[in-house]
A and B are shown apart, each in its own frame.
Chain A
Amino acid sequence: MTKKTRAIVGAGALAIAGTLLLSGCGGSGFDDSGDTADGGLTSSDDALNILIGSSGEAETAAVEEAVAAWSEESGVEAKVSVANDLNQQLSQGFAAGSPPDLFYLSADSIAGYAGNGSLAAYGDELENADDFYPSLVENFTVDGDFYCAPKDFSTLALIINTDLWTAAGLTEADVPTTWDELAAVSKTLTTEGRVGLAFGAEYQRVGTFMAQAGGGMVVDGEAVANSPENVEALEYVKSHLEDGTFAYAADVGAGWGGEAFGKQLAAMVIEGNWIGGAMSADFPDVNYIVAELPAGPAGQGTLQFTNCWGMAADSPNQQAALELVQDLTSTDQQLAFSEAFGPMPSISSAADAWSEANPDLTAFLTGADYAQFPPNQEGATDVIADFNAQLETLKTGDPQQILDSVQANLEAVIG
């Protein structure tokens, strides 16, 4: 008996000691976050840690170079690290109380981190705050607070294979500007083993039709997923999935729209800016143009995707981080990034120079004027994921029923 008791006491002591040890580790680091400067930002001599989720060598090099240049000028040390799994590494940093000072943050994870107080809302402190496109600012605004500076953005447009286009007897004047025209050219372009228009089976593509019909997911803080406009949009998509002129990328055997386009399994796709890199790397022989998406019953509509420079609430040197963000989102720097690895600048003052440098891609930029964005409320990611799961079976499903279930889920997270 005594031995057993002692074993229990021993185990208990071990558990308590370990717990104290761990709480000691976790507890430090987020109470002593430097002196608070004006405007609620901390300031100290600490070096900055920057965590990015890089698309490749070019992006890493460009960011490292820009940060190094700023570091030299300002005298604040700064180190750029590339994350393998950004979400996981960020979560670890926040849990440990020692997150990176600045990091890439996607629009769909901002609500979660903002909700648990991990982020510093520094948007209004930015000197160039008014220069950002309003829809991007809205995208990073949670509960009225403009959290972080949009790093860059992408929109969706209609990518057209020009060789297949001319082979089908179509001219530049035939580029569709309405749903009817889109259906007509898709029909013309559809041949054995090739569909007219392909896109991913997800809200992040199909949602453009909802925007064009005048619908959307959240309008003025209200969930409107099952609005008649959205139903009309899904009915339109469904009817053309049925007649075979539209198809999901997966159904023609491609991983995503860009692959379907590159392999010429589809003559047109709905994709974003990123398709340029994929085409030049994997399918350099395919000629294409980028056109604006056609207007639906309610006018033009597209979706935008963006990341921002998130700043940690626990960062001891937020003032320096703010200055770095201002530098990284400045007109010249964004144009330099654009040249190095292709993103679209998030500020309107860079628009003219960008359009001049990328005359073939202006359709993406004009999309910014009428772009919607996926709901960014906490928990909305799950709702969209569930919506996407149902969209995969849209061809045999009932649009009204699908949207009703999305509405119920969305109402639950919007509250």
Chain B
Amino acid sequence: MTTQVSKTPRRAGASGLRRGEGVAGWLFTAPVIIILGLFLFIPVLMALWVSFSDWNGRGSPLSSSVDFVGLENYAAVTTGGGLAERNFGISLRNIAWYVVLVVPLQTALALFLAVLVSRAVLRGRGFFRTAFYFPSVTSSVAITVLWLFLFSTTGVVNEVLSWVGITGPNWFNDPRGIFHIGLSAVGVDSAPEALSSGFLGISWWDWFAGPSVALFAFMLMAIFTTSGTFMLLFIAALQNVGVELGEAGMMDGASGWQRFWHITLPQLRPTLFTVLTLGLIGGWQVFEQIYTGTQGGPAKTTLTPAYLSYQAAFQNQDWGQGSAIAFILFLIIIFFALVQRWVLRERPVSKRRAAQYQVKGQKP
């Protein structure tokens, strides 16, 4: 032991005089370890087991009557060829469009609002900050109900649209994909031959339908409610951006837009990463709006994987499939978080870029 201590002095905590501290350390962290373990780690492990088992919702999933079925549940929703696969395909289609459109838009809006309310010249900054943040502190169930009301056929939104001569759609009951609506406006109403094959039981034509009008209304809601939260993160980050670099940029003759794009934004990179990651996770996991609002309708166009997982487990007693969907969703989220982390990584300045800043005629 002593030899080891002398070799690795920084790991000495486990022995000698410091032995007591190790115990104390465990003691102090024990409450969190126990709570996290009991309410997070073990349930996740159990759900993982359920996704590989034929547990049917009765009694303990760990009892001897529950059997291991391998990847059967995963196969049912990805290659089964039946309704389970089709439903999963539809839910992935819906959520993919949701994420692709909501995440960039809410991030851009949040950043825009943050820049606006951070400007020293703005009067009533406090008021606007509160106003923009307000939707975020309201319960999403309440907002959903409000949204159903605003976007009803004879609701406020359609009333306003009618002022400018637009007959608004029947928002939450309209299953048409917005790209399909656009295509039918130019006379394309059915799938070209090339798009009639498909993936996960959904034809390519339907994959490219875009979000339905109903889902689109939910997307507007998501952007409306979450950009306030993310605005707050951006405001905090903007306050840490020193004015010196901006002033230096000004001396060099950079325009306001250039200063924002080349000086401020790069310094916001860590926050941008946080916001995009949180947005991505939140986006893939949409549940309560669907649960309170449409239950997946119209025509399954607001069915999300999280809601499908709930439906499979709690309504159809297909607990294995429900957990399998949850874990596939988990893998998808991890994958995209990693991709995004890789895209936003700190890169050394490229040679081509560096060359732009060299004084002409001088060798680097």
Contact = CB atoms under 8 A, between A and B. Distances in A.
B167 interface: no
A412 B298 contact: no
Nearest to A383: B83
Contacts of A118: 57-58
A95 interface: yes
A336 B170 CA distance: 42
Interface in B10-34: 11, 14, 33
Contact of A116 (B56, B83, B170, B175): B56
Interface in A377-405: 378-379, 381-383, 385-386, 388-390, 392-393
A123 B299 CA distance: 37
B314 interface: yes
A294 B314 CA distance: 38
B266 interface: no
Given A22-B42, A382-B83, A253 B56 contact: no
A379 to B, nearest CB: 7
A30 B59 contact: yes
Given A18-B37, A22-B60, A23-B62, A409 B82 contact: yes
Contact of B316 (A14, A112, A393): A112
Given A91-B313, A389-B299, A15 B41 contact: yes
B38 interface: yes
Contacts of B315: 87, 109, 112, 381
A250 B314 CA distance: 27
Q: Which of B11, B33, B316 has the most A CB atoms < 10 Å from its CB?
A: B316
A4 to B, nearest CB: 11
A2 B11 CA distance: 10
Nearest to B310: A88
A91 B317 contact: yes
Contacts of B87: 382, 386
B304 to A, nearest CB: 15
A34 to B, nearest CB: 17
B299 to A, nearest CB: 4
Interface string B294-320: 001111100000000000011111000
A30 B42 CA distance: 23
Contacts of B46: 19, 22
A117 B297 CA distance: 31
A2 B14 contact: yes
Contacts of B314: 87-88, 91
B152 interface: yes
Contacts of A257: none
Contacts of B175: 389, 392-393
Interface in B62-84: 62-63, 82-84
A251 interface: yes
Interface in B84-115: 84, 86-87
A379 B316 contact: yes
Interface residues of B, number: 38
A383 B14 CA distance: 61
Nearest to A380: B316
B173 interface: yes
Contact of B82 (A26, A97, A412): A412
B118 interface: no
B44 to A, nearest CB: 11
B14 A3 contact: yes
Q: Which of B46, B59, B296, B300 has the most A CB atoms < 10 Å from its CB?
A: B59
Nearest to A91: B314
Contacts of B62: 19, 22-23, 26-27
A411 to B, nearest CB: 10
Q: How large is the interface on A (under 10, 10 to 19, 20 to 34, 35 or more residues)?
A: 35 or more
Nearest to B154: A253
Q: Is the interface of B mostly helix, strand, loop or mixed?
A: loop
Interface in A88-114: 88, 91, 94-95, 97, 109, 112-113
Nearest to A118: B58
B142 to A, nearest CB: 17
Q: Which of B33, B63, B83, B153 has the most A CB atoms < 10 Å from its CB?
A: B83
Contact of B58 (A95, A378, A382): A95
Contact of A113 (B37, B86, B317): B317
A115 interface: yes
B33 A14 contact: yes
B42 A19 contact: yes
A393 B56 contact: no
A14 B37 contact: yes
B170 A253 contact: yes
Given A19-B42, A27-B63, A117 B58 contact: yes
Contact of A95 (B33, B42, B57, B84): B57
A251 B300 CA distance: 17
A230 B314 CA distance: 31
B57 A26 contact: no
B45 interface: yes
Interface string A12-37: 00110011001101110010000000
B146 to A, nearest CB: 15
B300 A389 contact: yes
Contacts of A3: 11, 14
B59 A95 contact: yes
Given A3-B11, A15-B45, A94 B63 contact: no
Interface string B47-63: 00000000011111111
Contacts of A251: 170, 173
Given A30-B59, A381-B315, A392 B83 contact: no
A225 to B, nearest CB: 13
Nearest to A379: B316
A383 B83 CA distance: 8
A388 B296 CA distance: 12
B299 A15 contact: no
A88 B313 CA distance: 9
In the A-B complex, list the 10 residue pairs whose CB atoms are closest, starting with the nearest: A26-B60, A253-B153, A116-B56, A250-B173, A112-B317, A389-B299, A23-B62, A18-B42, A389-B300, A392-B299
Given A15-B41, A412-B83, 7 more contacts: A22-B60, A27-B60, A87-B314, A91-B313, A97-B58, A378-B316, A381-B315
15 contacts: A2-B14, A3-B11, A3-B14, A15-B42, A18-B41, A25-B60, A26-B62, A27-B62, A113-B317, A116-B56, A118-B58, A253-B153, A378-B316, A390-B299, A412-B83
